[in-house]
A and B are shown apart, each in its own frame.
Chain A
Amino acid sequence: MPSISTRLFLILVMTTGLVWLSAVVWIFLSTRAEVERVLDARLMEAGRMVSSLIVSQDIKVDADQPLGAELPARPNLSYERQLSCQIWSLQGVLIGRSGGAPDQELAEHADGFSQTMINGESWRVYAITNADLGVRVLIGDNLTIRDGLVNDVIRGLLLPVLLILPALAGLIWLSVRRGLAPLNNIARDLEGRRASDLSPIKGVETAKEIVPVLDSLNGLFARVTRLRERERNFIAFAAHELRTPLAGLKTQAQVALASDERAIRDQALRQIMVGVDRTGRLVRQLLDMSAIEAREPAERRGAVKAGTVLSSLARELADPARKVTIEIAPGLDALELEIEPELFTLAARNLMENAVNHSPEGGVVRCHMAVEGEEQCIVIEDDGPGIAADELPKVTERFFRGRNKAPIGSGLGLAIVELALGRSGWRLRLQNRVAGGLSAIIAYAPASRAAGAS
């Protein structure tokens, strides 16, 4: 896996090198063009100058006399070698030449610039003909010398580059390391953690660009923490709810075996009956739950006469011993719901059972219809203690039992209700009543209904 720093380093070094290289090429080309332009101008200038000197008779040339005079040599040797001058008669006789100029004719062409090879050396030559005097002036420039000039410029340019590039590479490496420090900090923080440590990353020096990553990472940590806590709670609650009734049964059985008193034995046996009933209910709820879970999430199908179902449940669940009664509002009789009858019955049964179990002696459980905004609702109300506000979000978790729990509750009822309603696109809402007690609301919104039907 390539590291970001190596990649960044390579990219930066390559682009920097490329920029330098193209700069060198560009300088090389432009310097050469400039040098050629300047030197060509000098060549032309020199040719015209010699020609005009001849015209003004400052230099005497006899067109017939070969090599009458050497042009005066200049004192500076390095300049002397640069320009060569030849003066030829139009008949082809070398009349004069500068020092260091070759004997051979530099150019045989018409006036203007040309390039020739003489004795293995390239020459740039400017020719100008003076027809009045019958002479041709040739001014030549040794190209080797010209190239040397351009090369000197490029060498002067490249030498510092070779020295600077390694230093630049080092600086780039340091900058990359420094720039990636925030990432490294986070990586170090994560590496130093135990696998179970899901606390948010904080106190790490970071950069603006990494903040979103950090935020979503911390968000993920928080979600995983919540999930893990829920799972832990579920296991703990489940263990408690499943093992406690067993412990109760065993203890009561041991009491019945150990006691000689008939009254104690009978009481223990009655308690065993209660325990078995409760465990039976728990088993039934567990089976209900897995039955609902095994279903496909159903579209809204089936039709339920809410009033009929609720009335028959009310007859079954009312608790005459504690004088708890159930009232069904007449409006519900006409209400038909699009929901699988079995799921609705299951949800309503658990809600009504809860309401009855939490009702005080002589309490009344009321079922009625309500419309809240877009939503149509069936409300089941009781006069019980309600649910503590901090427990409201948790009560539909499996096996969760709040502070105001009923003696025979298992913590599964509301979980079953939510599951059953959710399977057909309905929702359960719980709220404490102002007058005391709980409102359990089975709700559906027409909008979600349309979405569910499509």
Chain B
Amino acid sequence: MRILIVEDDAVLRDGLKVGLAISGFTADAVESCEEANAVLKNHAFDALVLDLMLPDGSGLDVLKSMRERRDDTPVLLLTARDGVADRIAGLDTGADDYLGKPFDLDEVAARLRALVRRAGGRSRTVLEWRHLRLDPSAQLVERGGEPVRLSRREYSILHVLMAHPGRVLSKRQIEEKLYGWQEEVESNAVEVHIHHLRSKLGPGLIETVRGIGYRLGEEA
């Protein structure tokens, strides 16, 4: 899941970015409204972690312009002001959730998972496909009840495919979910990771649709 962090404090921004990566997210981080607006126009994210007080304006302005653009990406507001009036203002502007500083990193991750799940119209936390089970909160994958060890990238690719069962995803789409825009994309990396996934979970798990991309196969 690809997350954009908008936070001006360097220590907190770095902590969130690394911490969310540990929780299985792909996180990008920017530090101002201007950067956030620019990035949001060119990239799709599964969710946004948005600080309210930014050096060049309020996070609420970023949120407002997103919603005016019909950008429905779920937004988790982070703020030092967590009075009732502030929370109401945030939620009424179009935020999906609200956390006051200082917060717990695990709670941020859990809330982001919930936001993404709800945005996808699912209520179940665990993803299932045939004999496969993927639990995003524990970053655990089981095949027929047996846990399978996957690398971070492999897990992310499987997560993306299982979140969109039956849909064909292009290599570009998978890369976008996999790498932050600040990261260098290694060529052929997706092919390599899918190769590893097939060898760990069975060759029929991921079908290649020539010229288009990949989707989950019928036999897993």
Contacts and interface: CB of A to CB of B under 8 A. Distances in A.
A237 B56 CA distance: 14
Contacts of A337: none
A250 B18 contact: no
A244 B81 CA distance: 10
Interface string B18-29: 110010000000
Interface string A260-295: 000010011001101100100000000000000000
A168 interface: no
A274 B14 CA distance: 12
B219 interface: no
B16 A251 contact: yes
Please tell me the size bucket of the interface on A: 20 to 34
B109 to A, nearest CB: 10
A245 B8 CA distance: 11
A405 B53 CA distance: 13
- Interface range on chain B (Cβ under 8 Å from partner): 20 to 34
B173 to A, nearest CB: 28
B106 A245 contact: no
Interface in B23-49: none
B80 interface: yes
Contacts of B12: 244-245, 247-248, 251
Contact of A268 (B10, B18, B55, B56): B18
Contacts of B55: 401-405
B104 interface: yes
Contacts of A275: 11
Contact of A240 (B11, B14, B22, B80): B80
Interface string B176-216: 00000000000000000000000000000000000000000
Contacts of B10: 248, 274, 407
B101 interface: yes
A251 B19 CA distance: 7
A252 interface: yes
10 contacts: A236-B81, A249-B11, A250-B105, A251-B16, A254-B105, A255-B105, A258-B22, A264-B22, A267-B18, A403-B56
A-B pairs, 6 with minimum CB distance: A251-B15, A248-B12, A248-B11, A247-B102, A247-B101, A243-B80
Interface of A: 236-237, 239-252, 254-255, 258-259, 264, 267-268, 271-272, 274-275, 278, 401-405, 407
Given A244-B12, A251-B102, A255-B18, 19 more contacts: A236-B81, A239-B80, A239-B81, A240-B52, A244-B101, A247-B9, A248-B12, A249-B11, A249-B102, A250-B105, A251-B12, A252-B14, A254-B19, A254-B104, A254-B105, A255-B19, A271-B11, A271-B15, A278-B11
